[in-house]
Amino acid sequence: MVTSITSLGRSGLSDWMLQRVAAAVMTAYVIFITAYLMVNPDLSYEQWRGLHSSLPMRMFSLMTILSIAAHAWIGMWCVFTDYVTVRLIGPKATIVRIFFQLSMITITLLYVVWAIDILWGM
Amino acid sequence: MLTVSIYRYNPEADDQPYMQDFEFDAQGRDVMVLDVLEKLKASDPTLVYRRSCREGVCGSDGMNISGKNGLACITPLSQAVKNNKLVIRPLPGMPVIRDLVIDMGQFYAQYEKIQPYLVNNTPAPAIERLQSPEERAKLDGLYECILCACCSTACPSFWWNPDKFIGPSGLLQAYRFLADTRDTSTEERLAKLDDPFSVFRCHGIMNCVQVCPKGLNPTRAIGHIRNMLIRSAT
Amino acid sequence: MKTMSFDAVIVGGGGSGMRAALQLAQSGYKTAVITKVFPTRSHTVSAQGGITCAIASDDPDDQWQWHMYDTIKGSDFIGDQEAIEYMCATGPEAVFELEHMGLPFSRCENGRIYQRPFGGQSKDFGRGGQAARTCAAADRTGHALLHTLYQGNLKNNTVFLNEWFAVDLVKNEDNAVVGVVAIDIETGEEVFVKSKATVFATGGAGRIYASTTNAHICTGDGIGMALRAGFPVQDIEMWQFHPTGIAGAGTLVTEGCRGEGGYLINKSGERFMERYAPNAKDLAGRDVVARSMVLEILEGRGCGENGDHVYLKLDHLGEETLNAKLPGILELSRTFAHADPVVEPIPVVPTCHYMMGGIPTNVNGQAITIDSEGNDQVIAGFYACGEAACVSVHGANRLGGNSLLDLVVFGRASGMFIEKTLREGVDLRDPRESDIAAAMHGLNRLNSSTGGEQASVLRAELQTIMQNYFGVFRRGDYMKDGIAKLNALKHRIDNVALDDKTNAFNTARIEVLELHNLYAVAEATAVSAEARTESRGAHAREDFQERDDVNWLCHSVFYPDDKRVGKRDVNFTLKTREPFAPAIRTY
């Protein structure tokens, strides 16, 4: 059993599951928005704003934002633990990796807060 | 005349590894790569590689042959020669001891980690434990692994994390014991695999399937393990 | 020189070595296995057909006594009956243990272990027709068995000295064995591995012949070491030629092919074994089938352009059966014979396969020498099991499937006896500096050598001599020529070149050491074969075509010091019944 404090779900299975669920949500969102744009070719600002001010749509967007955050967290963590390792770049790797991971986590959380602000601040 | 380009490195003599070219005359015969190495070693005894059974069952002579991992003894020249050239390197991603011999310690350590032995704490019967042909058939495609390391050393996830990711070979064996109806420690085995590295570093690249000289499918076994983890966790 | 100490050290990581190690490790003794290849690369891995044992799965009425009868008859009556009785009676227990350890045997519908017919097997002491007594894991039984034993040893924390090469035995001043000197191949470091019990499980030496089913590593290292230490070897002239090695490549095709219904044909498509063995046909003893094949070839009925092989026909069994029962054979034949057995026959030829002789031992694995009065003397501290040993359960001819049983039964028996010995306390004197130096002599000489001929050239010559003069059929005058040629080769091998004196993974050094061992085995084989003036089992002489029970119903014993061949009585004592008297052997 290999443990890791910076992976999101703490277990391989939950990380893996989260990524699959997140991917499904993101796919659904992309399909929905694409379809919406195709059905409404002459989309006006009011109509677009109207769509996004309904509670279900806000929830859907929020879910997608959270999915992107989770997906990125897990995915980037994987990338860092693949490439930024003692094996590949020497003893300084741990510090560098922690820096990258904390930066990535911070930025991701900032995006989430900002997105909530946009969605509910309209 | 065939040009055989071989990776050479002797830690006592060379600062750096290098590729050495040999000329080889196969006399039109489609011999195996190991036959070529044996002939070359007869003229240059310093050339070093592992070999034993020379029939593809012991797993000693895994090497990278013209870019693809395989067993030298069952890879014929017709499959390996490109543009009249044969390029032989050690299996990638592992420390080289000398020439084509790699240090397989990390590979074996991962194998040992999965507890590669049957666990059954119920009292043994006076005869064998019974198993139906169907139950036994679940082990086909798993128990045949020869630990040659062709798969694990072709796996990028194993290159990056050979100390944490068990790798295709070890996972194939992990599933061999999970699938055995005579084994009673399924829960304990699964619990040891449920971390972000051991199993889940497999990203389905499938190099393992492409190179396995025994035609086994570690990716499928890993999928089965994942399904078992899901079933046991939900 | 670095010294490591163990309760028991086993040289050889194949089936018998790992079975012995497992026994000792399970009971907590500090046990090391010295093996020149990673254990699962040992030659046991190549065993295909199965392990013969009366577990009464195929036939619920099967008896181990019938198996005993077959084995004694198969040995042409120079197998030791006490040892054969022990093996056949203990076999089921040893096989069930393997199954409990996880060996993935093939299964019957009722869930029991699948058994297939093999050559020389009968029911009811030869009166009840063909038996099916060979327990199989498809056609990969050796692989499954070896991996299972390695796994068992991992579970029990055996110390593995992987890729270490044992060079020579170390004897103390009492002529007792107290360990070996060995080389760690990876670093070149030389180590004295000291032990209260030294077990040789070093396997066979098929590489003394040019054409062999044996792996490159089968170089008779244990036999070479024992002979250099002055210990005798027994029945070493008895070499089994397996009927079905793939022509040209030498790769083994299991007897299980014929057990499942395959048969041999000559160039006119005739199933010729019907002529030589009307009852057992293709499932006669291996020596009988191999000789019949050679006669077909010599009489011009061989197949192929040069008429130098015969065919093994399997296609009539159907693709489904072949895939289920013989998947490994399909693979091997397609790779090495370029023949797909599903549609065409496999070109096969008798190929050197197994060394029936070896270090003489008793059923406890204790190595034996013979004193000046002709009495057996146990060599203190020294044990042998598996192919390297001659216990002797195979006599002049081994039955298919009996080698794997020999491995596990006598690996286990050695382990159990050493356990008992260690419990009671072992008191061997430490070796003197000069004793260790004596064991280092050959290696030191090699390391300071200059010039000489290449090992590969000398090895090829040795193999050609053995193939030409000591093959399936033997003749006195030819063998004398062969011995003269070996003698001429001796001096050249003593001065073999080792230009590369580096330490890291120097396989050139190992190959030279192996060459010395090959020569020792070859010489013992040649001298013993010339001395045995009869035909028995695998030893077939054109100038002495009959079995000679008056003079040769005995073991041959080769003494290395004066290169003399002596005789040793065959054991004719059974615990459970009257012994089997020698009878004419027909199939």
Question: Could you read off the pLDDT tens digit of each residue along chain B, which spans 234 residues?
Answer: 899 999 999 999 999 999 999 999 988 889 999 999 999 999 999 999 999 999 999 999 999 999 999 999 999 999 999 999 999 999 999 999 999 999 999 999 999 999 999 999 999 999 999 999 999 999 999 999 999 999 999 999 999 999 999 999 999 999 999 999 999 999 999 999 999 999 999 999 999 999 999 999 999 999 999 999 999 987
Whole-Å CA distances, C154 to A42, B114, B169, C278, C576: 71, 11, 17, 48, 38
pLDDT of residue C149: 98
pLDDT of residue A2: 67
Nearest by CB to residue B196, choosing from A7, A83, A88, is: A7
Show which subunits contact A, needing at least 3 CB pairs below 8 angstroms: B
Out of A2-6, A73-77, C304-308, least confident range = A2-6
Nearest by CB to residue B195, choosing from A3, A83, A88, is: A3
- Ramachandran sector of residue B66 (left: φ over 0; alpha: ψ -120 to 50; beta: rest): left
* Chain mean position to CA C427: 32
Judging contacts by C-beta atoms under 8 Å, the chain C residues touching residue B129 are 99-100
Q: Is C477 on the interface with B (CB under 8 A)?
A: no
Chain B nearest CA to A83, separation (Å): 7
Q: Cα angle at C512 between C509 and C515, to 5 degrees?
A: 155
Judging contacts by C-beta atoms under 8 Å, the chain B residues touching residue C215 are 52-54, 58
Q: Is A20 on the interface with B (CB under 8 A)?
A: no
- Nearest C-alpha neighbor of B50 from the set C186, C245, C56: C186
B201/A83 Cβ within 8 A: no
User: Radius of gyration (Cα) for chain C, nearest Å?
Assistant: 22
C335/B56 Cβ within 8 A: yes
B52/C41 Cβ within 8 A: yes
DSSP string, C81-131: HHHHHHHHHHHHHHHHHHHHTT----B-TTSSBPEEEEEEEESTTTTS-EE
Structure tokens at B185: 């420690």
Q: Three-state SS across A14-67?
A: HHHHHHHHHHHHHHHHHHHHHHHHHHCCCCCHHHHHHHHHCHHHHHHHHHHHHH
Chain C residue with CA closest to B75: the answer is C335
B104/C96 Cβ within 8 A: no
Sign of the C-alpha dihedral computed for residues C171, C172, C175 and C179 taken in this order? negative
B133/C45 Cβ within 8 A: no
Chain B residue with CA closest to A79: the answer is B160
3-class secondary structure, C51:
strand
Residue of C107, C346, C506 to mutate, interface with B, max B Cβ within 10 Å? C107
Buried b (16+ CB within 10 A) or exposed e, C291-310: bbbbebbeeebbbeeebebb
Q: How far is it, in rounded angstroms, from Cα C145 to Cα C138?
A: 12
Q: Is C464 on the interface with B (CB under 8 A)?
A: no
Judging contacts by C-beta atoms under 8 Å, the chain B residues touching residue A87 are 160, 162-163
Structure tokens at B64: 């990278």
A1/B164 Cβ within 8 A: no
Q: Indicate the residue type of C366.
A: Q
Regions in chain C scoring below 70 on pLDDT: none
Chain C residue with CA closest to B74: the answer is C335
Give the strand pairing for B62-65 and B68-71.
antiparallel
Chain B nearest CA to C43, separation (Å): 7
Nearest by CB to residue C505, choosing from B97, B112, B118, is: B97
Which domains does chain A show, CATH number per domain?
10-120 (1.20.1300.10)
Judging contacts by C-beta atoms under 8 Å, the chain A residues touching residue B205 are none
Q: How far is it, in rounded angstroms, from Cα B88 to Cα B143?
A: 29
Backbone angles phi, psi at C315, to 5 degrees: -60, -25
Chain C nearest CA to B149, separation (Å): 13
Contact criterion met (CB below 8 Å) for B117 and B174: no
Q: What is the DSSP letter of B118?
A: -
A15/B196 Cβ within 8 A: yes
Contact criterion met (CB below 8 Å) for B180 and B117: no
Q: How far is it, in rounded angstroms, from Cα C236 to Cα C359?
A: 9
- Nearest C-alpha neighbor of B174 from the set B139, B133, B148, B205: B139
Q: Which residues of C are catalytic?
A: 286
Contact criterion met (CB below 8 Å) for B53 and C41: yes
Whole-Å CA distances, C36 to B10, B50, B215, C502: 20, 11, 28, 18
A82/B157 Cβ within 8 A: yes
C46/B42 Cβ within 8 A: no
Chain A residue with CA closest to B195: the answer is A12
Chain B residue with CA closest to A19: the answer is B200
In this model, does residue A1 exceed pLDDT 70?
Answer: no
**Neighbouring residues of B117: CB distance < 8 A, sequence distance ≥ 6:** B177, C101, C102, C151, C152, C154, C155
Q: How far is it, in rounded angstroms, from Cα A33 to Cα A11?
A: 33
- The upper half-sphere exposure of residue A101, i.e. CA atoms within 13 Å in the direction of its Cβ, equals 22
Chain C residue with CA closest to B147: the answer is C40
Structure tokens at B208: 């393992």
For chain C, positions 155-214, list CB contacts with chain B under 8 A.
155, 186
Structure tokens at C487: 């003698």
Whole-Å CA distances, C554 to A26, B105, C61, C386, C570: 83, 49, 34, 21, 5
Judging contacts by C-beta atoms under 8 Å, the chain A residues touching residue B194 are 1, 11-13
- Nearest C-alpha neighbor of B142 from the set B176, B167, B113, B166: B176
Buried b (16+ CB within 10 A) or exposed e, C349-370: bbbbbbbbbbbbbbbbbbbbbb
Judging contacts by C-beta atoms under 8 Å, the chain B residues touching residue C457 are 42
Structure tokens at C179: 């360990």
Dihedral Cα B129, B133, B137, B138, nearest 10 deg: -50
Contact criterion met (CB below 8 Å) for C179 and C170: yes
Question: Are chains B and A touching, using the cut-off of 8 Å on CB pairs and a minimum of 3 such pairs?
Answer: yes
Nearest by CB to residue C155, choosing from B60, B117, B180, is: B117
Q: How far is it, in rounded angstroms, from Cα C173 to Cα C434?
A: 10
B164/A85 Cβ within 8 A: no
- Nearest C-alpha neighbor of C16 from the set C312, C393, C350, C377: C393
Q: How far is it, in rounded angstroms, from Cα B156 to Cα B161?
A: 9
Contact criterion met (CB below 8 Å) for C101 and C71: no
B143/C104 Cβ within 8 A: yes
Chain A residue with CA closest to B229: the answer is A13
